[in-house]
Amino acid sequence: MYEDRERLAAAWESELEVFRAARPRSADQWQRAIEHLPDGVPMLWMAKWPGPWPVYVESAGGAHFTCVDGIDHVDLCLGDTGAMCGHAPEASVAAIEAQARRGSTFMLPTEDAAATAELLSARFPLPVWQFSLSATDANRSLIRYARQSTGRRKIAVHDFSYHGTVDEAYATLDADGAVVSRRGNIGAPVPLDETTAVVQFNDIDGLDAVLRTREIAALLIEPALTNIGIVLPDPGYHDAVRELCTRYGTILIIDETHTFSAGAGGLTRELGLEPDALVLGKSIGGGIPAAAWGMTREFSNAVRESLDLEDIDVGGVGGTLAGNALSLAGMRATLERVLTESAFGNMIARSTEWTVGVQKTIDEFDVPWQVTQLGARAEYSFRPTPPRDGREAADADDFELQQYLHLHALNRGILITPFHNMALMCPVTSPADVERHTEAFREAVVSLYG
């Protein structure tokens, strides 16, 4: 906990002044936008930035964007991973443009579908693939498939996980260990304990207790938590997860939407995991809506054999534009030519530099914070040691402090992921981009602790 709240409040006010003075054109756009858009944004999450009004973007390329006030920013948010491939990557844009000119959506496959499935099968240990427009929808689809193939009703998730706007995944544990709705669950459809069991990350005994009920169709997990800060798995944790899912007949779904930052084959390949299903999304389309889910042949066949062709279009999985030709063109080009093995080498090297830079300042001022790296992604949090589970990570939250640090960075032309203290590197993030953050971060810490 940062104690000197008066100092924090004063620092916040002075950064607000800097923001207001530098961004009059964004203010103009916002004034216009609030007439017809709640909070002046097309999707309400975009209101969760620090500052009196949002920053409106003019254009972007690679690791940078320019706002309507003409300010250049190093983008370490990258659309919260949607642009992990960098903004407007040339190979993806060319393929998307060419496909758009040939038609984007037919309810029929193009050659890119098989090619993309081959690329994914080469990177991930799953041989069968389907496509959707968002990671949320991929997760939702897999939950249905798991229920269908197991005949069970419930799923299990980690406490403080996030898997998109999937109703069943909005569960958390209260102080007594009961499953309840997470905070802010808008219009919750049913009590969460009817659909979901929750376990702490890294808690093997807790997982055993939940799965041994044999009520759980699917265990939906990130292999490392990334949505409550980064929480890494203990050695052996994933061996136990795999073993318990097999023992109790639960489908293991690994959601790699964020942890894809660990390398070209995600954390699944880094750790040699063996899921029954795996989800990718956000960045794999090169900046356009696209997601994919992989399955073992056994799981895929079990589902397929249970479906009648007649019902397949209204069976609860899929969507009119899912697997459309434009998404597939974007995914194929992005996997073949943008998010390549060598691109990950650069991304991870920059992320290591970023982590070292943050750690140096933490050490210099003896600040009780820690920084954790996960491949091309890294994040600091307001506690002295890395958290071991979501509860520990959540307890270190300090929204005001976070907002201040984000605004401070923004005023120095650096965008950090809004819901986290997280930085993500794209294939063309440069050492100079990282250095800009390292200097600004030190300056921010001096303003609080110096």
Rounded to a whole number of angstroms, the minimum distance from the CB of residue 81 to ligand PMP is: 7
3-11, 131-139, 173-181, 383-391 -> range binding ligand PMP (CB under 6 A): 131-139
**SS3 category, 216:** strand
Nearest to 317 by CA among 291, 282, 286: 291
Calpha distance 399→11 (Å, rounded): 15
Q: Phi and psi for 152 in degrees, rounded to 5?
A: -105, 160
**SS3 category, 433:** helix
Task: Check binding of 261 to ligand PMP (CB under 6 A).
Answer: no
Which residue among 140, 152, 238, 258 contacts ligand PMP (CB under 6 A)?
258
Taking the CB of residue 182, how many other CB atoms lie within 10 A of it? 17
Task: Check binding of 123 to ligand PMP (CB under 6 A).
Answer: no
Task: Check binding of 87 to ligand PMP (CB under 6 A).
Answer: no
Calpha distance 271→122 (Å, rounded): 16
Which residue's CB atom is positioned nearest to ligand PMP?
Answer: 164
Task: Check binding of 222 to ligand PMP (CB under 6 A).
Answer: yes
Task: Check binding of 164 to ligand PMP (CB under 6 A).
Answer: yes
Task: Check binding of 392 to ligand PMP (CB under 6 A).
Answer: no
Which residue among 116, 149, 227, 283 contacts ligand PMP (CB under 6 A)?
227
Rounded to a whole number of angstroms, the minimum distance from the CB of residue 136 to ligand PMP is: 3
Residues across the chain: 450
Task: Check binding of 135 to ligand PMP (CB under 6 A).
Answer: yes
Largest CA-CA distance found in the chain, in angstroms, rounded? 69
Calpha distance 447→338 (Å, rounded): 39
Distances (CA, A) of 328 to 85, 204, 285, 295, 372: 15, 38, 7, 18, 33
Task: Check binding of 134 to ligand PMP (CB under 6 A).
Answer: yes
The helix or strand, by DSSP H or E, that contains position 334, with its residue range, turns out to be helix 325-337
Calpha distance 298→38 (Å, rounded): 46
135-143, 188-196, 268-276, 426-434 -> range binding ligand PMP (CB under 6 A): 135-143
Taking the CB of residue 70, how many other CB atoms lie within 10 A of it? 9
Task: Check binding of 168 to ligand PMP (CB under 6 A).
Answer: no
Task: Check binding of 268 to ligand PMP (CB under 6 A).
Answer: no
Q: 53 vs 162, which CB is nearer to ligand PMP?
A: 162
4-12, 30-38, 133-141, 321-329 -> range binding ligand PMP (CB under 6 A): 133-141
Q: 222 vs 353, which CB is nearer to ligand PMP?
A: 222
Q: 162 vs 380, which CB is nearer to ligand PMP?
A: 162
Which residue among 19, 145, 162, 404 contacts ligand PMP (CB under 6 A)?
162
Which residue among 152, 282, 406, 436 contacts ligand PMP (CB under 6 A)?
282
Q: 164 vs 286, which CB is nearer to ligand PMP?
A: 164
Rounded to a whole number of angstroms, the minimum distance from the CB of residue 258 to ligand PMP is: 5
Nearest to 230 by CA among 368, 353, 360, 376: 376
* DSSP of 247-308: HHT-EEEEE-TTGGGG-TTHHHHHHT---SEEEE-GGGGSSSS-EEEEE-HHHHHHHHHT--
Count of positions on this chain that bind ligand PMP (CB under 6 A): 15
Which residue among 112, 159, 255, 392 contacts ligand PMP (CB under 6 A)?
255
Q: What is the CA radius of gyration of the chain?
A: 22
Nearest to 320 by CA among 160, 118, 108, 58: 108
Residues at the contact surface with ligand PMP, assessed by CB under 6 A = 80, 134-136, 139, 162-164, 222, 227, 255, 257-258, 281-282
